[in-house]
């Protein structure tokens, strides 16, 4: 298969993406969560870049989460929660993160 142009195999995925934008689309981060991230970050005196550096993500990721354009990722949400010490998931969005012992 070396040297062959395999671009024609991608059409199936492209069609799927086209349909996704028309009828069903991914859940996005709620604006409420974006506002909590922004307020938490600002209360700690951090810029989007500072927060991104702290959680090892790109500044664009933080911008997308704050604007509600991002598709939620639990791993990223967890890192942001720990960095700004505020809950972003569940029913207590915006409440301080409890720092108790982790139980398994």
pLDDT at 29: 85
**Contacts with 96 (C-beta within 8 Å, 6 or more apart), sequence order:** 85, 86, 87
Sorted by where each begins, the domain ranges of the chain are 27-91
Q: How much of the chain is in helix, strand and coil states, percent to nearest 5?
A: 55, 0, 45
Superfamily of domain 27-91: lambda repressor-like DNA-binding domains (1.10.260.40)
Mean pLDDT for each consecutive 10-residue tract of the chain (104 residues)? Answer: 52 55 68 93 94 95 92 92 92 81 49
């Amino acid at each position: 298969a070396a040297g062959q142009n395999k671009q024609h195999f991608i059409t199936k995925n492209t069609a799927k993406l086209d349909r996704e934008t028309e009828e069903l689309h991914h859940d996005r981060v709620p604006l409420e969560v974006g506002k909590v991230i922004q307020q938490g970050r600002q209360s700690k005196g951090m810029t989007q870049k500072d927060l991104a550096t702290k959680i090892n993500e790109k500044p664009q990721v933080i911008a997308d989460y704050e604007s509600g354009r991002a598709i939620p990722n639990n791993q990223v949400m967890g890192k942001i929660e720990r960095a700004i010490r505020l809950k972003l998931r569940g029913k207590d969005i915006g409440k301080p993160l409890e720092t108790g012992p982790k139980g398994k």
